């Protein structure tokens, strides 16, 4: 399976959840609501899930093996970092244009 598109749909500044992401595979399958979570120690992804009646959570979709999970996480985190750079550049450009 090839990751053909990653969309950072929403970003957050002041909570552990830093972004909500959609990923497209082989231009044919989309998985929405993958979350980017940041803690003091690391940044990682959480797959979309639903809450069970007993209060536990169960993934709706998830990688089957460690290798693909690592590949998916790496690609999403790279796209997230790129989005942060773009947002930073937009903020700087807006601040510069306001000064003029």
Q: At residue 50, does pLDDT exceed 70?
A: yes
CA atoms within 13 Å, Cβ hemisphere of 45: 28
- What is the number of other CB atoms lying within 10 angstroms of the CB of residue 45? 20
Q: Report pLDDT for 31.
A: 96
Give the number of domains in the chain: 1
CATH number at residue 30: 3.30.1120.40
Q: Report pLDDT for 94.
A: 79
Q: Report pLDDT for 96.
A: 73
Which residue reads 């007993």 in tokens?
54
Chain centre to alpha carbon of residue 31: 11
The boundaries of the domain holding residue 95 are: 3-99
The whole-number average pLDDT for the span 5-23 is 95
Q: At residue 100, does pLDDT exceed 70?
A: no
Cβ neighbors of 80 (< 8 A, separation 6 or more) are 8, 18, 19, 21, 36, 43
Prediction pTM value: 0.87
The whole-number average pLDDT for the span 44-67 is 95
The whole-number average pLDDT for the span 38-50 is 95
Q: Report pLDDT for 93.
A: 81
């Amino acid at each position: 399976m090839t990751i053909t598109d990653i969309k950072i749909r929403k970003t957050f500044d002041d909570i552990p959840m830093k972004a909500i992401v959609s990923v497209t595979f082989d231009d044919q399958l989309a998985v929405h609501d993958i979350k980017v979570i940041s803690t003091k120690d690391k940044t990682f992804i959480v797959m979309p899930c639903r809450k069970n009646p007993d209060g536990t959570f169960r993934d709706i979709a998830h990688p089957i093996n460690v290798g693909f999970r690592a590949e998916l996480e790496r690609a999403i985190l790279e796209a997230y970092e790129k989005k942060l750079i773009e947002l930073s550049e937009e903020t700087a450009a807006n601040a510069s244009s306001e000064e003029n």
